[in-house]
Amino acid sequence: MPATILLVEDEPAIQELIAANLGRAGHHVVRAADAESARGIVQSALPDLVLLDWMLPGMSGIEFARRLRADERTRTIPIIMLTARGEEEDAVAGLETGADDYITKPFSPRELVARIKAVLRRRTPQATEDVVAIGALRLDPATHRVTADETPVSLGPTEFRLLHFLMTHPERVHSRAQLLDQVWGDHVFVEERTVDVHVRRLRAALEASGLDQLIQTVRGSGYRLSAQVGSGAVQ
C-alpha cells in the first residue's frame, strides 16, 4: 500500500527529485526543509517513514532522529538517513542514533525506492503492497481484495485497513488505542469503542467462512488475530 513519507531535505533540487520518484512509486510525500518544520508535521500526524538528510540548517538530522527515538509517540517510526558522508564511523553514528538504514549520496532513485520498501516490510508491513495470507484468509493490498477459502469477502475501507494491520501483526495483542493510531491515524480523534464496531463488522463479513474466529477478543487488553482457528477464539 502507498506509504506516507516525510522527506526532510534542505536542497530544493534534491527534494524535488526524490519527491517526484517516490510519487511515481505510489507514495504520498510530505516535505520539510528543516527539522523544526518536520517536527511540526510529525506532531500533527505520524508518517509511515521519515527520509532524513544528515546535514540540515539549525537542528541536524542526527539530533532530530535522536529526538524522534526519545519520544514514545514517535519511537517506532522507521528512519532512513540521507547523507553525503561515506565514512564508516558516520554510518555507525547514524545507525546508533536509531536510523533503520543509511544511504550515501549520490544514489539512484531505484535503489532508494527498494530500500524504503525493505524498511517498511521490516518495520510497518501494513504499509507495503505484499499479499498477506493466514490459513484460508488472503488479502491483496494492491487490488484491495480479500478472499476466505477462495470466496471473495466484501469489506469497507476501514475494515480492510483493520484486517490488513491485524494480518501483518498476527498473534500480537493490540489495545483499542493502538488500533486507532495504526488504522485510523493518531491525528484522528474518535472514541475507542469505535474499534469494537468495526471489529464486529469485520467478523460479520468473515462469519460465512468460519474465519471470524481468527479475530480474538483478549479481555481487558484488546484484540489479536490468531493463526489458529478455534484456539480460544474469545477470552
Write out pLDDT tens, residues 6-37: 999 999 999 999 999 999 998 999 999 999 99
| Residue 178: alpha-carbon gap to chain centroid | 13
Q: What is the pLDDT of residue 216?
A: 94
* pTM of the predicted model as reported, rounded to 2 decimal places: 0.60
Q: What does the CA dihedral 160, 165, 163, 121 come to, rounded to 10 degrees?
A: 80
Domain boundary among 95, 127, 159: 127
Tell me if 14 is assigned to some domain. Answer: yes
Range of the domain at 83: 4-127
Q: Would you say residue 215 lies in a domain?
A: yes
Cα–Cα distances (Å) from 43 to 36, 46, 74, in that order, read 11, 7, 9
Out of 68, 97, 127, a domain closes at 127
**What is the Rg, in whole angstroms, of the alpha carbon atoms belonging to the chain?**
19
The answer as to whether 195 is a domain residue is: yes
CA distance 44 to 185: 10
Residues 103 and 31 reside in one and the same domain: yes
pLDDT at 233: 41
Rounded Cα distance between 34 and 160, Å, is 35
**Domain count along the chain:** 2
193 and 115 co-located in one domain = no
How confident is the model at residue 23, as a pLDDT?
A: 93
pLDDT (0 to 100) of residue 80: 92
Let me know whether 40 and 110 are in one domain: yes
Q: What is the mean pLDDT of each run of 10 residues along the chain (235 residues)?
A: 87 94 92 96 88 91 92 86 71 75 86 88 71 93 91 92 91 87 71 89 94 92 81 42
* Residues 12 and 101 placed together within one structural domain of the fold: yes
Domain assignment present for residue 152? The answer is yes
Q: Are residues 110 and 164 in the same domain?
A: no
- Residues 182, 79, single domain; the answer is no
- pLDDT at site 1: 56
Residues 42 and 109 in one domain: yes
Q: Which of 52, 104, 56 is nearest to 83 (CA)?
A: 104
Judgement on whether residues 213 and 163 belong to the same structural domain of the protein: yes
Residue environment code for 135-157, b if the CB has 16+ CB neighbours within 10 A, otherwise e? eebbbebeeeebebeeeebebee
**CATH code of the domain containing 20:** 3.40.50.2300
